[in-house]
Amino acid sequence: GEDVEQSLFLSVREGDSSVINCTYTDSSSTYLYWYKQEPGAGLQLLTYIFSNMDMKQDQRLTVLLNKKDKHLSLRIADTQTGDSAIYFCAESFDGGFKTIFGAGTRLFVKA
Amino acid sequence: DGGITQSPKYLFRKEGQNVTLSCEQNLNHDAMYWYRQDPGQGLRLIYYSQIVNDFQKGDIAEGYSVSREKKESFPLTVTSAQKNPTAFYLCASSIGEGGTEAFFGQGTRLTVV
């Protein structure tokens, strides 16, 4: 069945780059997403990549997709304390109606 | 401002009682979703609705019920049949088929006491 896996924690120093990794099992997904969740709040879409793309860059965010290895990564350049949150990887199927989320990676940014 | 609103933010329920969580959106989205979030786990889909008066079970629908009488509203009832209801519940909406983004509410934290 479909599954999305992420490491649970990542700690970086302010100003360094953060790389959050994700692996997925189903190659039929249409879109892959990165969502951000701050404490006690809902999820906010950070960026997404269509499954036929390899890379997408959006300001400080770079998404890399390796379809062969079913590996997705999110790189945050110049990480700030405000980037501390939980980051969820997700993939969607069935025209976008079905989305599978990973368990989330909690990013700690040390000043 | 357009958005999706969940209420209440915190909810306490006694064992054996049903409780209804509210979700309203003014984004004119066709699709709406309910997810459950537990510590250390990803979001799990409870129910989703692609259109008014229609909804489908997600992965963990047992012990829950929904209705979709209006496009704007998708209330979730947590029934006494749900054995472990304490969790953070998230509602979301999207344009529908082909949509690339789900918009999430702020969540409702349900605690059974």
Cβ-Cβ contacts under 8 Å between A and B: the total is 58
Which tens digit of pLDDT belongs to each residue from A42-100? 899 999 998 888 999 999 999 999 999 999 999 999 999 999 999 999 988 766 667 88
Distance from CA of A54 to the nearest CA of B (A): 17
| Average pLDDT for B14-27 | 94
Taking CA atoms, what residue in A is nearest to B49?
A97
Task: Select the residue of A4, A99, A103 nearest B102 (Cβ to Cβ).
Answer: A99
> What is the β-pairing status of strands B4-7 and A43-50?
unpaired
Residue type, A94: D
CB contact under 8 A, A98 and B99: no
Name the token pair of A15.
Answer: 């100003």
Q: Which residues contact B101 (CB under 8 A, 6 or more apart)?
A: A45, A48, B94, B95
